Chain A
Amino acid sequence: MVKLRLVFLAIAGPKNEQLYLEVFDSLEKSLLSKYQYLSELSLDVIQDLVQNPERTSNDCFLGLLGVEEDISTYAFCSNTNVKFILAVRSSDFVVRESEIRQLLRRIYTIHTHAVCNPFSLELTPDTLKQSLYFNETLQQLSLDWNNQ
Chain B
Amino acid sequence: MIVHQQLPMSVNLASFDFLLIEMVHMAKRLSEKQETVVSNDERMEKGYSFLENIGFQVGRKLAERLLLTRNRIVESIDVMRFLCRELWPIVFRKQLDNLKTNRKGTFVITDNYFFWFSKMTAATGTEMKEYTTPYLYFPSGFIRGVMHTFGYPVQVIAQCPNLPTCIFQVRFPQPSNVPTTENAASNQPSESAQSVSQQNTDLSRISGRSLSSTTLGVNNTPSPLNPTNPSHPEETS
A-side residues, CB < 8 A to B, are 14-16, 47, 50-51, 53, 58-60, 77-81, 108-109, 112, 115-116, 118, 121-122
Contacts and interface: CB of A to CB of B under 8 A. Distances in A.
Contacts of A79: 67, 70, 72-73, 149-150
A47 B151 CA distance: 15
A58 B216 contact: no
A60 B150 contact: no
B199 to A, nearest CB: 31
A78 B216 CA distance: 11
Contacts, number: 57
B71 interface: yes
Given A112-B64, A118-B57, A60 B220 contact: no
B61 interface: yes
A16 B65 CA distance: 21
B63 to A, nearest CB: 8
B179 interface: no
Interface of B: 57, 61, 63-65, 67-68, 70-73, 149-151, 215-218, 220, 222, 224, 236
5 contacts: A14-B151, A14-B220, A53-B236, A80-B67, A81-B150
Given A15-B220, A77-B216, A80-B63, 10 more contacts: A15-B217, A15-B222, A50-B216, A51-B215, A51-B236, A58-B72, A59-B71, A80-B67, A80-B149, A116-B65
A115 B64 contact: yes
Given A16-B217, A51-B236, A81-B217, A116 B61 contact: yes
Contacts of A122: 224
B61 A115 contact: yes
Nearest to A117: B61
B71 A16 contact: no
A68 to B, nearest CB: 23
Contacts of A115: 61, 64
Residue among A14, A16, A118, A121 with max Cβ neighbours from chain B (10 Å) = A14
B210 to A, nearest CB: 15
B218 A15 contact: yes
Contact of A47 (B57, B216, B224): B216
B23 to A, nearest CB: 14
B65 A112 contact: yes
A28 B187 CA distance: 48
A79 B67 CA distance: 7
Nearest to A81: B217
Nearest to A57: B71
B61 to A, nearest CB: 4
A79 B63 CA distance: 10
B25 to A, nearest CB: 21
A109 B64 CA distance: 10
Pairs of residues from A and B, 10 with the lowest C-beta to C-beta distance, nearest first = A14-B217, A81-B217, A79-B67, A58-B71, A116-B61, A58-B72, A80-B149, A14-B151, A112-B64, A81-B151
Contact of A112 (B68, B73, B151): B68
A47 B218 contact: yes
A104 to B, nearest CB: 13
Contact of B216 (A51, A60, A116, A121): A51
B190 to A, nearest CB: 20
A60 B71 contact: yes
Contacts of B63: 80
Contacts of B216: 14, 47, 50-51, 77, 81
A112 B68 CA distance: 8
Contacts of A81: 150-151, 216-217
